[in-house]
Copies of this chain bind each other. A is one copy, B any other.
Amino acid sequence: MTTYTAKQIHLISRPGGMPSHDNFSIVNVELNPPGDGEVLVKNLYMSVDPYMRGRMRADAVYADAYELNKVMYGGAVGEVIESGDSSLQVGDIVLNGAAWQDKFVAKANTVSKLEPFDMDQLSLYLGTLGMPGLTSYVGLLKYGEPKEGETVFVSAASGAVGANVCQIAKLKGCRVIGSVGSDEKAQWLLDECGVDAVINYKTCGDLSDALAKAAPDGIDIYFENVGGDHLQAALNVMNPFGRIAACGMIASYNNSEPAPGPNNLMLIVGKKIRINGFIVSDHGDMRPQFLSEMIPWIQEGKVKSRETMVEGLDNAVDAFLGLFSGNNFGKMVVKI
């Protein structure tokens, strides 16, 4: 009986503020071969995402909390290397929820076989074609309800979610303004993604003023990834009957003490604004429609994807920490 050794990243203590390496440890475990109905998967790519920070809290509301001294989890793409189930063959590529480990055994029905349109772009299934892509699509189309000619403001606009929001909004005939934290990201959005205006929030001075200047006719939709000053500026510049798709508020994820919110929430009433918080896992029903639009957009070059690829599971924690300092450019992926 062949056994396998898997490398796993465990959460060993809960971070108070910004997480550090001390909160994690690398653990080697022995795996038995897959039993009947099971598969053994070797992960090729794993995702690190901001929402994982929420799972490190004991009082996680966003998703279940990670347990201490157990392997964490999240989106990954792997290859079946041994199969005890007739539905999957060795060599099949599968999307799975077992990130943070290089190999794992699981029931065959807990992974999804992919029919990749390009074997060199498997990591897209963790980004533009995966959870972040569907998040963009659901948030913008279902909750933003963009109409041709409207103005859309996107925070964290070059990120895994934001960059898709920008490009889908352009494809739907909107004017798009993005906010990013570096001039390099700004230039990419302008040159490659066709975004109409970009604000570098680190250097623009007052964000409300910068947004008002970039959106002289106001904004109709705000795709919220950041919170804090970004939400305040969006409310200030929003037109009546504006919509906010609230996907995340990364500015607050590492606060050890809760920070006060915007001082202009009264504008929600006066401007008759709608805010929808949402989590992509409630919207799996939109996946077929999403893929039917997104795959051609990618193949035709209408949606560009940018990735920051970190090599090695040993560097996954660094990749994750980098999300909070904006080290990623586009989707942060770990190649295992």
Nearest chain B residue, comparing its CB with the CB of A282: B272
Question: Shortest beta-carbon distance, A110 to chain B, in Å?
Answer: 24
- State the CA gap A261–B274 with chains docked (Å): 17
| Segment of A20-28, A247-255, A291-299 engaged in the interface with chain B | A247-255
- State the CA gap A253–B266 with chains docked (Å): 9
**What is the predominant secondary structure among interface residues of chain A facing chain B?**
loop
Contact A227 B265 (CB under 8 A): yes
Nearest chain B residue, comparing its CB with the CB of A225: B269
Contact A249 B278, CB 8 Å, known A61-B271, A270-B62, A271-B61: no
Question: Shortest beta-carbon distance, A329 to chain B, in Å?
Answer: 24
Max count, chain B CB within 10 A of own CB: residue among A269, A273, A275, A282? A269
What residues on B are CB-neighbors of A210 within 8 Å? none
- State the CA gap A273–B247 with chains docked (Å): 11
Contact B282 A269 (CB under 8 A): no
Contact B268 A279 (CB under 8 A): no
A interface residues, how many (CB within 8 angstroms):
34
Question: Which residues 255-285 of A sit at the B interface, judged by CB distance below 8 A?
Answer: 258-279, 282
A231 at the interface (CB under 8 A from B): yes
Question: Which residues 201-259 of A sit at the B interface, judged by CB distance below 8 A?
Answer: 227, 231, 246-249, 252-253, 258-259
- State the CA gap A267–B269 with chains docked (Å): 19
A54 at the interface (CB under 8 A from B): yes
Question: Shortest beta-carbon distance, A182 to chain B, in Å?
Answer: 25
Give the residue of B252, B260, B271 whose beta carbon is less than 8 angstroms from that of A266: B252
What residues on B are CB-neighbors of A271 within 8 Å? 61, 277
- State the CA gap A209–B277 with chains docked (Å): 24
Q: What are 27 A-B pairs with beta-carbon distances under 8 A? A: A61-B270, A62-B270, A231-B265, A246-B269, A248-B269, A249-B266, A249-B269, A252-B266, A259-B263, A260-B261, A260-B262, A260-B263, A261-B263, A261-B265, A268-B275, A268-B277, A269-B277, A270-B279, A272-B276, A272-B277, A272-B279, A272-B282, A273-B275, A274-B275, A274-B277, A275-B275, A275-B276
Using a CB–CB cutoff of 8 Å, the interface residues on chain A facing chain B are 54, 61-62, 227, 231, 246-249, 252-253, 258-279, 282
